[in-house]
Structure 1
Amino acid sequence: MLLQDKVAIVSGASRGIGRQTALTLAWHGASLVISGTKVDLLNEVAGKVNEMGRKCMVSVGDVTNFETATKVVSQAIKEYGHIDILINNAGMNMRTSTLDMDIEDWKKVMDVNLNGNIYFCKAVLPYMIKQNYGKIVNVSSTTAKSGHKNAIPAYGASKAGIDYLTKHLAIEMAEYNIYVNGVSPGPVETDMIKQWSDEYYQTVVSKIPLKKLGKPQNVADVILFLASFMSDFITGETININGGTYMN
Protein backbone atom coordinates (compact mmCIF):
# COMPACT_ATOMS: atom_id res chain seq x y z
CA MET A 1 0.00 0.00 0.00
CA LEU A 2 2.38 2.69 -1.22
CA LEU A 3 -0.40 5.29 -1.41
CA GLN A 4 -2.56 4.47 1.59
CA ASP A 5 -4.78 7.46 2.50
CA LYS A 6 -3.50 9.49 -0.46
CA VAL A 7 -5.77 11.33 -2.89
CA ALA A 8 -4.84 11.49 -6.58
CA ILE A 9 -6.17 13.30 -9.63
CA VAL A 10 -5.54 11.65 -13.00
CA SER A 11 -6.36 13.52 -16.21
CA GLY A 12 -6.96 11.65 -19.45
CA ALA A 13 -7.89 8.56 -17.44
CA SER A 14 -10.37 6.95 -19.82
CA ARG A 15 -7.91 4.70 -21.66
CA GLY A 16 -4.29 3.77 -22.30
CA ILE A 17 -1.64 5.04 -19.91
CA GLY A 18 -4.08 7.19 -17.94
CA ARG A 19 -6.48 4.32 -17.35
CA GLN A 20 -3.75 1.95 -16.22
CA THR A 21 -2.24 4.62 -14.00
CA ALA A 22 -5.57 5.23 -12.27
CA LEU A 23 -6.01 1.51 -11.62
CA THR A 24 -2.44 1.15 -10.38
CA LEU A 25 -2.68 4.08 -7.96
CA ALA A 26 -5.97 2.72 -6.64
CA TRP A 27 -4.50 -0.76 -6.20
CA HIS A 28 -1.85 0.81 -3.97
CA GLY A 29 -4.41 2.55 -1.78
CA ALA A 30 -5.20 5.93 -3.37
CA SER A 31 -8.64 7.49 -3.61
CA LEU A 32 -9.16 9.09 -7.02
CA VAL A 33 -10.74 11.79 -9.09
CA ILE A 34 -10.42 10.83 -12.76
CA SER A 35 -10.98 13.26 -15.60
CA GLY A 36 -11.57 13.00 -19.34
CA THR A 37 -14.12 13.52 -22.08
CA LYS A 38 -15.53 9.97 -22.46
CA VAL A 39 -17.97 9.51 -19.59
CA ASP A 40 -18.73 5.84 -20.40
CA LEU A 41 -15.05 4.90 -20.35
CA LEU A 42 -14.41 6.90 -17.18
CA ASN A 43 -17.34 5.17 -15.46
CA GLU A 44 -15.87 1.81 -16.45
CA VAL A 45 -12.56 2.74 -14.82
CA ALA A 46 -14.37 4.02 -11.72
CA GLY A 47 -16.26 0.75 -11.48
CA LYS A 48 -13.02 -1.23 -11.45
CA VAL A 49 -11.59 1.08 -8.79
CA ASN A 50 -14.70 0.62 -6.66
CA GLU A 51 -14.33 -3.15 -6.98
CA MET A 52 -10.94 -2.77 -5.26
CA GLY A 53 -12.67 -1.09 -2.35
CA ARG A 54 -11.36 2.37 -3.25
CA LYS A 55 -13.25 5.59 -3.85
CA CYS A 56 -13.29 7.12 -7.32
CA MET A 57 -15.06 10.23 -8.55
CA VAL A 58 -15.61 10.90 -12.26
CA SER A 59 -15.31 14.43 -13.66
CA VAL A 60 -16.05 15.00 -17.34
CA GLY A 61 -14.47 18.00 -19.04
CA ASP A 62 -12.08 19.35 -21.66
CA VAL A 63 -8.59 20.12 -20.34
CA THR A 64 -8.32 23.08 -22.71
CA ASN A 65 -10.69 24.94 -20.37
CA PHE A 66 -9.18 26.15 -17.10
CA GLU A 67 -12.63 25.71 -15.54
CA THR A 68 -12.28 21.95 -16.03
CA ALA A 69 -9.19 21.89 -13.82
CA THR A 70 -10.76 24.05 -11.13
CA LYS A 71 -13.88 21.86 -11.14
CA VAL A 72 -11.86 18.67 -10.72
CA VAL A 73 -9.81 20.14 -7.89
CA SER A 74 -12.92 21.50 -6.16
CA GLN A 75 -14.58 18.08 -6.36
CA ALA A 76 -11.51 16.43 -4.84
CA ILE A 77 -11.33 18.90 -1.96
CA LYS A 78 -15.06 18.68 -1.27
CA GLU A 79 -15.04 14.86 -1.24
CA TYR A 80 -11.67 14.08 0.35
CA GLY A 81 -10.47 17.30 1.98
CA HIS A 82 -6.99 17.20 0.44
CA ILE A 83 -5.03 16.42 -2.74
CA ASP A 84 -1.68 14.64 -2.59
CA ILE A 85 -1.00 13.61 -6.18
CA LEU A 86 -1.64 15.08 -9.63
CA ILE A 87 -1.00 13.03 -12.76
CA ASN A 88 -1.11 15.20 -15.89
CA ASN A 89 -1.72 12.57 -18.55
CA ALA A 90 -4.28 14.09 -20.93
CA GLY A 91 -2.84 14.51 -24.43
CA MET A 92 -3.41 14.14 -28.14
CA ASN A 93 -1.48 13.71 -31.39
CA MET A 94 -2.09 14.10 -35.10
CA ARG A 95 -0.27 12.67 -38.11
CA THR A 96 0.34 15.78 -40.20
CA SER A 97 3.47 17.26 -41.76
CA THR A 98 4.39 20.89 -41.16
CA LEU A 99 3.36 22.00 -44.65
CA ASP A 100 0.06 20.12 -44.53
CA MET A 101 -0.76 21.13 -40.97
CA ASP A 102 -3.66 23.46 -40.37
CA ILE A 103 -2.80 26.23 -37.88
CA GLU A 104 -5.89 25.34 -35.87
CA ASP A 105 -4.49 21.82 -35.46
CA TRP A 106 -1.27 23.29 -34.07
CA LYS A 107 -3.27 25.33 -31.56
CA LYS A 108 -5.44 22.36 -30.56
CA VAL A 109 -2.52 20.03 -29.83
CA MET A 110 -0.64 22.71 -27.91
CA ASP A 111 -3.80 23.58 -25.99
CA VAL A 112 -4.51 20.01 -24.91
CA ASN A 113 -0.96 18.87 -24.21
CA LEU A 114 0.71 21.94 -22.74
CA ASN A 115 -1.99 24.39 -21.67
CA GLY A 116 -4.06 21.62 -20.09
CA ASN A 117 -1.02 20.64 -18.08
CA ILE A 118 -0.43 24.10 -16.60
CA TYR A 119 -4.15 24.58 -15.95
CA PHE A 120 -4.23 21.55 -13.67
CA CYS A 121 -0.99 22.59 -11.96
CA LYS A 122 -2.33 26.10 -11.36
CA ALA A 123 -5.54 24.71 -9.90
CA VAL A 124 -3.94 22.19 -7.54
CA LEU A 125 -0.81 23.99 -6.34
CA PRO A 126 -2.47 26.36 -3.83
CA TYR A 127 -3.83 23.33 -1.94
CA MET A 128 -0.51 21.49 -2.06
CA ILE A 129 1.30 24.61 -0.84
CA LYS A 130 -1.14 24.97 2.05
CA GLN A 131 -0.56 21.38 3.18
CA ASN A 132 3.20 21.64 2.47
CA TYR A 133 3.24 18.48 0.38
CA GLY A 134 2.46 17.21 -3.09
CA LYS A 135 3.56 14.98 -5.94
CA ILE A 136 3.02 16.04 -9.55
CA VAL A 137 3.87 13.74 -12.46
CA ASN A 138 3.68 15.06 -16.02
CA VAL A 139 3.44 12.66 -18.96
CA SER A 140 5.78 13.75 -21.76
CA SER A 141 7.17 11.77 -24.72
CA THR A 142 10.45 10.61 -26.20
CA THR A 143 9.47 12.72 -29.23
CA ALA A 144 10.30 15.85 -27.20
CA LYS A 145 13.95 14.75 -27.07
CA SER A 146 14.57 12.94 -30.31
CA GLY A 147 12.17 14.37 -32.91
CA HIS A 148 9.84 12.30 -35.06
CA LYS A 149 8.46 13.21 -38.47
CA ASN A 150 5.52 10.81 -38.05
CA ALA A 151 3.84 13.23 -35.61
CA ILE A 152 2.49 16.74 -36.07
CA PRO A 153 5.26 19.20 -35.04
CA ALA A 154 3.02 20.59 -32.30
CA TYR A 155 3.17 17.22 -30.52
CA GLY A 156 6.92 17.25 -29.93
CA ALA A 157 6.91 20.98 -29.23
CA SER A 158 4.18 20.63 -26.61
CA LYS A 159 5.94 17.72 -24.92
CA ALA A 160 9.23 19.64 -24.89
CA GLY A 161 7.30 22.43 -23.18
CA ILE A 162 6.12 19.95 -20.57
CA ASP A 163 9.73 18.89 -19.92
CA TYR A 164 10.70 22.48 -19.24
CA LEU A 165 7.61 23.16 -17.14
CA THR A 166 8.50 20.13 -15.01
CA LYS A 167 11.94 21.58 -14.23
CA HIS A 168 10.61 25.09 -13.62
CA LEU A 169 7.89 23.98 -11.21
CA ALA A 170 10.29 21.62 -9.42
CA ILE A 171 12.57 24.55 -8.58
CA GLU A 172 9.75 26.92 -7.73
CA MET A 173 7.83 24.47 -5.53
CA ALA A 174 10.72 22.75 -3.74
CA GLU A 175 10.42 25.00 -0.68
CA TYR A 176 6.86 23.74 -0.20
CA ASN A 177 7.87 20.06 -0.25
CA ILE A 178 6.17 19.62 -3.63
CA TYR A 179 7.91 17.21 -5.98
CA VAL A 180 7.45 17.70 -9.73
CA ASN A 181 8.68 15.00 -12.10
CA GLY A 182 7.80 13.52 -15.45
CA VAL A 183 7.82 10.35 -17.50
CA SER A 184 8.83 10.13 -21.13
CA PRO A 185 7.28 7.06 -22.78
CA GLY A 186 8.42 5.75 -26.12
CA PRO A 187 6.35 3.35 -28.24
CA VAL A 188 3.60 1.90 -26.02
CA GLU A 189 0.75 -0.43 -26.94
CA THR A 190 -2.25 1.88 -26.69
CA ASP A 191 -5.19 2.58 -29.00
CA MET A 192 -2.90 4.80 -31.05
CA ILE A 193 -1.06 1.83 -32.59
CA LYS A 194 -4.30 0.64 -34.20
CA GLN A 195 -3.52 3.27 -36.84
CA TRP A 196 -0.28 1.47 -37.72
CA SER A 197 0.20 -0.93 -40.61
CA ASP A 198 1.93 -4.25 -39.90
CA GLU A 199 4.95 -2.99 -41.81
CA TYR A 200 5.19 0.18 -39.74
CA TYR A 201 4.73 -1.82 -36.52
CA GLN A 202 7.67 -4.07 -37.40
CA THR A 203 9.78 -1.05 -38.35
CA VAL A 204 9.13 0.58 -34.98
CA VAL A 205 9.91 -2.60 -33.03
CA SER A 206 13.14 -3.19 -34.98
CA LYS A 207 14.49 0.17 -33.79
CA ILE A 208 13.90 -0.60 -30.10
CA PRO A 209 16.93 -2.22 -28.42
CA LEU A 210 14.64 -4.43 -26.30
CA LYS A 211 12.75 -5.44 -29.49
CA LYS A 212 9.28 -4.94 -28.05
CA LEU A 213 6.74 -2.20 -27.42
CA GLY A 214 6.02 -1.05 -23.90
CA LYS A 215 2.79 -1.73 -22.05
CA PRO A 216 0.70 0.93 -20.29
CA GLN A 217 1.56 -0.89 -17.05
CA ASN A 218 5.28 -0.21 -17.63
CA VAL A 219 4.57 3.52 -17.59
CA ALA A 220 2.07 3.30 -14.73
CA ASP A 221 4.67 1.57 -12.55
CA VAL A 222 7.14 4.43 -12.96
CA ILE A 223 4.39 6.98 -12.29
CA LEU A 224 3.56 5.04 -9.11
CA PHE A 225 7.21 5.27 -8.05
CA LEU A 226 7.26 9.03 -8.62
CA ALA A 227 3.94 9.50 -6.82
CA SER A 228 5.07 7.57 -3.73
CA PHE A 229 7.55 8.17 -0.90
CA MET A 230 10.11 6.06 -2.81
CA SER A 231 11.00 9.13 -4.93
CA ASP A 232 11.40 11.56 -2.02
CA PHE A 233 14.83 12.74 -3.16
CA ILE A 234 13.93 13.17 -6.83
CA THR A 235 12.46 16.31 -8.37
CA GLY A 236 12.72 18.01 -11.76
CA GLU A 237 13.48 14.75 -13.56
CA THR A 238 11.77 13.20 -16.56
CA ILE A 239 12.37 9.45 -16.70
CA ASN A 240 12.66 7.68 -20.06
CA ILE A 241 10.47 4.58 -20.48
CA ASN A 242 11.16 3.48 -24.04
CA GLY A 243 13.04 0.19 -24.22
CA GLY A 244 16.29 2.00 -24.91
CA THR A 245 15.19 4.02 -27.96
CA TYR A 246 16.47 7.17 -26.26
CA MET A 247 19.10 7.15 -23.54
CA ASN A 248 20.58 10.02 -21.52
Structure 2
Amino acid sequence: MDISRLPSFRLDGKVALVTGGSKGIGFAMACALAAHGAHVVIASRNMADLQKAAAEITGQGFSCSWVQADVTDKENVQRMVDCVIGQHGRLDILVNNAGMNIRKPLIDIEEDDWDRVLNTNLKGIFLVGQAAAKQMIKQQYGKIINISSIFGGVGMPFQTSYAASKGGINQLTKVWANELAPYNINVNAIAPAYIRTPMTSAWLQDEERYRNIVNSTMLNRVGEPEDVAGPVVFLASDAANYITGHILYVDGGWTAK
Protein backbone atom coordinates (compact mmCIF):
# COMPACT_ATOMS: atom_id res chain seq x y z
CA MET A 1 0.00 0.00 0.00
CA ASP A 2 1.19 3.49 -0.85
CA ILE A 3 0.92 5.21 2.53
CA SER A 4 1.05 8.63 0.87
CA ARG A 5 -2.34 7.91 -0.71
CA LEU A 6 -4.12 7.21 2.56
CA PRO A 7 -6.88 9.75 3.34
CA SER A 8 -6.02 12.63 5.61
CA PHE A 9 -7.73 13.96 8.70
CA ARG A 10 -6.60 17.46 7.71
CA LEU A 11 -9.29 19.97 6.68
CA ASP A 12 -7.10 22.59 5.02
CA GLY A 13 -9.03 24.77 2.57
CA LYS A 14 -12.41 23.57 3.84
CA VAL A 15 -15.13 25.92 5.11
CA ALA A 16 -17.16 24.66 8.07
CA LEU A 17 -20.33 26.07 9.62
CA VAL A 18 -21.09 25.12 13.23
CA THR A 19 -24.50 26.14 14.57
CA GLY A 20 -24.66 26.61 18.31
CA GLY A 21 -20.90 27.02 18.01
CA SER A 22 -20.24 29.57 20.74
CA LYS A 23 -20.56 27.30 23.79
CA GLY A 24 -20.32 23.76 25.05
CA ILE A 25 -20.07 20.91 22.56
CA GLY A 26 -20.47 23.28 19.62
CA PHE A 27 -17.50 25.37 20.69
CA ALA A 28 -15.33 22.30 21.26
CA MET A 29 -16.18 21.00 17.80
CA ALA A 30 -15.49 24.39 16.22
CA CYS A 31 -12.08 24.49 17.93
CA ALA A 32 -11.26 20.99 16.68
CA LEU A 33 -12.21 21.75 13.08
CA ALA A 34 -10.20 24.96 13.13
CA ALA A 35 -7.19 23.21 14.66
CA HIS A 36 -7.26 20.73 11.77
CA GLY A 37 -7.11 23.47 9.15
CA ALA A 38 -10.70 24.45 8.36
CA HIS A 39 -11.99 28.00 8.34
CA VAL A 40 -14.82 27.77 10.85
CA VAL A 41 -17.90 29.98 10.93
CA ILE A 42 -19.74 29.73 14.25
CA ALA A 43 -23.40 30.71 14.51
CA SER A 44 -25.81 31.34 17.38
CA ARG A 45 -28.33 33.93 18.51
CA ASN A 46 -26.09 35.65 21.07
CA MET A 47 -23.65 38.11 19.52
CA ALA A 48 -21.55 38.58 22.64
CA ASP A 49 -21.02 34.83 23.00
CA LEU A 50 -20.09 34.58 19.32
CA GLN A 51 -17.55 37.39 19.52
CA LYS A 52 -15.94 35.90 22.62
CA ALA A 53 -15.75 32.39 21.13
CA ALA A 54 -14.37 33.56 17.77
CA ALA A 55 -11.76 35.72 19.52
CA GLU A 56 -10.61 32.73 21.56
CA ILE A 57 -10.16 30.58 18.44
CA THR A 58 -8.41 33.25 16.38
CA GLY A 59 -6.31 34.18 19.39
CA GLN A 60 -4.75 30.72 19.19
CA GLY A 61 -3.80 31.27 15.56
CA PHE A 62 -6.69 29.50 13.86
CA SER A 63 -9.22 30.77 11.31
CA CYS A 64 -12.70 31.60 12.58
CA SER A 65 -15.52 34.05 11.93
CA TRP A 66 -19.09 34.30 13.17
CA VAL A 67 -22.61 35.01 12.02
CA GLN A 68 -25.62 35.74 14.19
CA ALA A 69 -28.60 33.53 13.34
CA ASP A 70 -31.81 31.98 14.66
CA VAL A 71 -32.08 28.44 13.28
CA THR A 72 -35.84 28.33 13.80
CA ASP A 73 -36.46 31.06 11.18
CA LYS A 74 -36.15 30.04 7.53
CA GLU A 75 -35.21 33.48 6.19
CA ASN A 76 -32.65 33.89 8.95
CA VAL A 77 -31.14 30.50 8.15
CA GLN A 78 -30.88 31.35 4.46
CA ARG A 79 -29.15 34.65 5.27
CA MET A 80 -26.69 32.74 7.44
CA VAL A 81 -25.80 30.28 4.68
CA ASP A 82 -25.68 33.07 2.09
CA CYS A 83 -23.29 34.98 4.36
CA VAL A 84 -20.93 32.00 4.58
CA ILE A 85 -20.99 31.46 0.82
CA GLY A 86 -20.66 35.18 0.08
CA GLN A 87 -17.57 35.49 2.27
CA HIS A 88 -15.87 32.19 1.45
CA GLY A 89 -17.33 31.01 -1.84
CA ARG A 90 -18.33 27.57 -0.60
CA LEU A 91 -19.61 25.49 2.31
CA ASP A 92 -17.92 22.13 2.75
CA ILE A 93 -18.85 21.05 6.27
CA LEU A 94 -22.02 21.62 8.27
CA VAL A 95 -22.13 20.72 11.94
CA ASN A 96 -25.84 20.97 12.65
CA ASN A 97 -25.60 21.40 16.40
CA ALA A 98 -27.92 24.10 17.78
CA GLY A 99 -30.23 22.61 20.38
CA MET A 100 -31.98 22.97 23.72
CA ASN A 101 -33.87 20.93 26.30
CA ILE A 102 -36.76 21.39 28.72
CA ARG A 103 -36.91 18.53 31.23
CA LYS A 104 -40.39 17.93 32.63
CA PRO A 105 -42.62 14.96 33.42
CA LEU A 106 -45.01 14.10 30.60
CA ILE A 107 -48.07 15.39 32.47
CA ASP A 108 -46.41 18.77 33.13
CA ILE A 109 -45.15 19.58 29.63
CA GLU A 110 -46.83 22.66 28.19
CA GLU A 111 -47.54 22.94 24.49
CA ASP A 112 -45.11 25.86 24.36
CA ASP A 113 -42.38 23.67 25.91
CA TRP A 114 -42.90 21.06 23.20
CA ASP A 115 -42.89 23.66 20.43
CA ARG A 116 -39.73 25.40 21.66
CA VAL A 117 -37.72 22.17 21.84
CA LEU A 118 -38.98 20.72 18.55
CA ASN A 119 -38.60 24.04 16.72
CA THR A 120 -34.96 24.37 17.74
CA ASN A 121 -33.82 20.74 17.78
CA LEU A 122 -35.70 19.33 14.79
CA LYS A 123 -37.10 22.14 12.67
CA GLY A 124 -33.82 24.02 13.05
CA ILE A 125 -31.81 20.97 11.97
CA PHE A 126 -34.09 20.59 8.95
CA LEU A 127 -33.92 24.25 7.89
CA VAL A 128 -30.14 24.52 8.18
CA GLY A 129 -29.56 21.14 6.55
CA GLN A 130 -31.83 22.03 3.63
CA ALA A 131 -30.11 25.37 3.01
CA ALA A 132 -26.63 23.84 3.25
CA ALA A 133 -27.53 20.89 1.03
CA LYS A 134 -28.55 23.20 -1.82
CA GLN A 135 -25.05 24.68 -1.87
CA MET A 136 -23.34 21.32 -1.43
CA ILE A 137 -25.28 19.86 -4.37
CA LYS A 138 -23.94 22.70 -6.52
CA GLN A 139 -20.42 21.88 -5.33
CA GLN A 140 -20.94 18.13 -5.72
CA TYR A 141 -19.30 17.76 -2.33
CA GLY A 142 -20.18 18.14 1.32
CA LYS A 143 -20.20 16.72 4.83
CA ILE A 144 -23.30 17.15 7.00
CA ILE A 145 -22.94 16.13 10.63
CA ASN A 146 -26.13 16.31 12.69
CA ILE A 147 -25.80 16.35 16.47
CA SER A 148 -28.24 13.89 17.98
CA SER A 149 -28.17 12.21 21.40
CA ILE A 150 -28.35 8.77 22.93
CA PHE A 151 -31.91 9.78 23.82
CA GLY A 152 -32.80 9.47 20.16
CA GLY A 153 -32.78 5.73 20.84
CA VAL A 154 -32.79 5.32 24.64
CA GLY A 155 -35.76 6.08 26.86
CA MET A 156 -35.30 8.15 30.01
CA PRO A 157 -37.86 9.93 32.19
CA PHE A 158 -38.59 13.64 31.64
CA GLN A 159 -37.16 13.68 28.09
CA THR A 160 -40.39 13.56 26.05
CA SER A 161 -39.79 16.50 23.71
CA TYR A 162 -35.99 16.18 23.66
CA ALA A 163 -36.05 12.45 22.88
CA ALA A 164 -38.66 12.97 20.18
CA SER A 165 -36.52 15.63 18.53
CA LYS A 166 -33.36 13.52 18.65
CA GLY A 167 -35.13 10.45 17.30
CA GLY A 168 -36.29 12.63 14.44
CA ILE A 169 -32.70 13.76 13.80
CA ASN A 170 -31.59 10.14 13.51
CA GLN A 171 -34.20 9.48 10.85
CA LEU A 172 -33.42 12.72 8.99
CA THR A 173 -29.78 11.67 8.92
CA LYS A 174 -30.60 8.35 7.23
CA VAL A 175 -33.03 9.88 4.73
CA TRP A 176 -30.65 12.70 3.78
CA ALA A 177 -27.74 10.28 3.42
CA ASN A 178 -29.82 8.32 0.89
CA GLU A 179 -30.93 11.40 -1.04
CA LEU A 180 -27.59 13.20 -1.11
CA ALA A 181 -25.21 10.32 -1.79
CA PRO A 182 -25.41 10.83 -5.59
CA TYR A 183 -23.97 14.33 -5.08
CA ASN A 184 -20.92 13.15 -3.11
CA ILE A 185 -22.40 14.41 0.15
CA ASN A 186 -21.95 12.36 3.31
CA VAL A 187 -24.56 12.72 6.06
CA ASN A 188 -23.91 11.30 9.52
CA ALA A 189 -24.87 12.02 13.11
CA ILE A 190 -23.05 12.08 16.43
CA ALA A 191 -25.11 10.93 19.41
CA PRO A 192 -23.44 11.83 22.71
CA ALA A 193 -24.46 10.78 26.18
CA TYR A 194 -24.24 13.36 28.97
CA ILE A 195 -21.45 15.81 28.22
CA ARG A 196 -20.34 18.38 30.79
CA THR A 197 -21.56 21.69 29.31
CA PRO A 198 -23.37 24.82 30.55
CA MET A 199 -26.67 23.09 29.60
CA THR A 200 -25.98 20.03 31.78
CA SER A 201 -23.99 21.58 34.63
CA ALA A 202 -26.98 21.98 36.96
CA TRP A 203 -28.03 18.33 36.53
CA LEU A 204 -24.50 17.08 37.13
CA GLN A 205 -24.34 18.92 40.46
CA ASP A 206 -27.06 16.60 41.76
CA GLU A 207 -24.97 13.84 43.39
CA GLU A 208 -27.54 11.07 42.96
CA ARG A 209 -28.25 11.96 39.33
CA TYR A 210 -24.53 12.26 38.60
CA ARG A 211 -23.86 8.79 40.06
CA ASN A 212 -26.72 7.27 38.05
CA ILE A 213 -25.33 8.78 34.85
CA VAL A 214 -21.78 7.61 35.54
CA ASN A 215 -22.98 4.11 36.43
CA SER A 216 -24.82 3.89 33.11
CA THR A 217 -21.54 4.11 31.20
CA MET A 218 -18.81 1.50 30.82
CA LEU A 219 -16.05 4.09 31.23
CA ASN A 220 -17.47 5.26 34.56
CA ARG A 221 -17.41 8.97 33.81
CA VAL A 222 -19.34 11.84 32.27
CA GLY A 223 -18.21 12.99 28.84
CA GLU A 224 -16.28 16.20 28.29
CA PRO A 225 -16.73 18.50 25.25
CA GLU A 226 -13.32 17.40 23.99
CA ASP A 227 -14.65 13.83 23.69
CA VAL A 228 -16.78 14.96 20.74
CA ALA A 229 -13.90 16.78 19.01
CA GLY A 230 -12.24 13.70 17.50
CA PRO A 231 -15.44 12.19 16.10
CA VAL A 232 -16.48 15.43 14.39
CA VAL A 233 -13.06 15.88 12.78
CA PHE A 234 -13.14 12.27 11.58
CA LEU A 235 -16.62 12.55 10.03
CA ALA A 236 -15.73 15.91 8.45
CA SER A 237 -12.53 14.57 6.88
CA ASP A 238 -11.76 12.50 3.81
CA ALA A 239 -10.96 9.62 6.16
CA ALA A 240 -14.75 9.13 6.49
CA ASN A 241 -15.58 9.27 2.76
CA TYR A 242 -17.14 5.79 2.80
CA ILE A 243 -19.31 6.43 5.85
CA THR A 244 -22.81 7.84 5.45
CA GLY A 245 -26.16 7.39 7.15
CA HIS A 246 -24.40 6.41 10.36
CA ILE A 247 -25.25 7.36 13.96
CA LEU A 248 -21.98 7.48 15.91
CA TYR A 249 -22.59 7.04 19.63
CA VAL A 250 -20.13 8.96 21.81
CA ASP A 251 -21.46 7.65 25.09
CA GLY A 252 -18.78 5.90 27.13
CA GLY A 253 -20.42 2.59 26.27
CA TRP A 254 -23.88 3.54 27.59
CA THR A 255 -25.89 2.10 24.69
CA ALA A 256 -23.84 -1.12 24.58
CA LYS A 257 -24.46 -2.13 28.21
Question: Identity, % of aligned pairs?
Answer: 39
Partner of 2:229: 220
User: Is the 1:137–1:223 Cα contact (8 Å) retained in structure 2?
Assistant: yes
Partner of 1:44: 52
- For residues 198 and 38 of structure 1, the distance between their equivalents in structure 2, rounded to whole angstroms, comes to 31
Partner of 1:155: 162
Partner of 1:206: 215
Partner of 1:135: 143
- Give the residue type in structure 2 aligned to 1:144: G
Q: Following TM superposition, by how much is the alpha carbon of 1:193 offset from its aligned partner in structure 2, in angstroms? A: 2.8
Q: Deviations over 1:16-66 (max 9, x none)?
A: 100000111001111121111222221111112222433322111221111
- For residues 202 and 242 of structure 1, the distance between their equivalents in structure 2, rounded to whole angstroms, comes to 15
Q: Deviations over 1:103-148 (max 9, x none)?
A: 1110110000000001111111121111110000000000111111
- For residues 49 and 64 of structure 1, the distance between their equivalents in structure 2, rounded to whole angstroms, comes to 26
Q: Deviations over 1:41-93 (max 9, x none)?
A: 21111112222433322111221111222111111111110110000000000
- For residues 201 and 235 of structure 2, the distance between their equivalents in structure 1, rounded to whole angstroms, comes to 29
Partner of 2:4: none
SS of 1:71's partner is helix
SS of 1:87's partner is strand
Partner of 2:6: none
- Give the residue type in structure 2 aligned to 1:188: I
Q: Following TM superposition, by how much is the alpha carbon of 1:199 offset from its aligned partner in structure 2, in angstroms? A: 2.1
**TM score, norm. by length of structure 2:** 0.93
Q: Following TM superposition, by how much is the alpha carbon of 1:194 offset from its aligned partner in structure 2, in angstroms? A: 2.2
Matched, 1:34 2:42: yes
**TM score, norm. by length of structure 1:** 0.96
- For residues 5 and 61 of structure 1, the distance between their equivalents in structure 2, rounded to whole angstroms, comes to 24
User: Is the 2:41–2:64 Cα contact (8 Å) retained in structure 1?
Assistant: yes
Q: How does 1:162-241 map to 2 (within 5 A)?
A: 162-196=169-203, 197-241=206-250
- Give the residue type in structure 1 aligned to 2:63: K
Query: Aligned residue pairs: how many?
Result: 247
- For residues 55 and 68 of structure 1, the distance between their equivalents in structure 2, rounded to whole angstroms, comes to 24
User: Is the 2:106–2:158 Cα contact (8 Å) retained in structure 1?
Assistant: no
Q: Which has the larger displacement, 192-201 or 166-175? A: 192-201
- For residues 236 and 124 of structure 1, the distance between their equivalents in structure 2, rounded to whole angstroms, comes to 17
The root-mean-square deviation of aligned C-alpha atoms, in Å, is: 1.3
User: Is the 1:26–1:52 Cα contact (8 Å) retained in structure 2?
Assistant: no
- For residues 40 and 82 of structure 2, the distance between their equivalents in structure 1, rounded to whole angstroms, comes to 13
- For residues 243 and 4 of structure 1, the distance between their equivalents in structure 2, rounded to whole angstroms, comes to 30
Q: Following TM superposition, by how much is the alpha carbon of 1:170 offset from its aligned partner in structure 2, in angstroms? A: 0.3
Partner of 2:3: none
User: Is the 1:23–1:48 Cα contact (8 Å) retained in structure 2?
Assistant: no
Q: Which has the larger displacement, 210-219 or 60-69? A: 60-69
**Aligned counterpart for 1:115 among listed residues 96, 118, 123:** 123
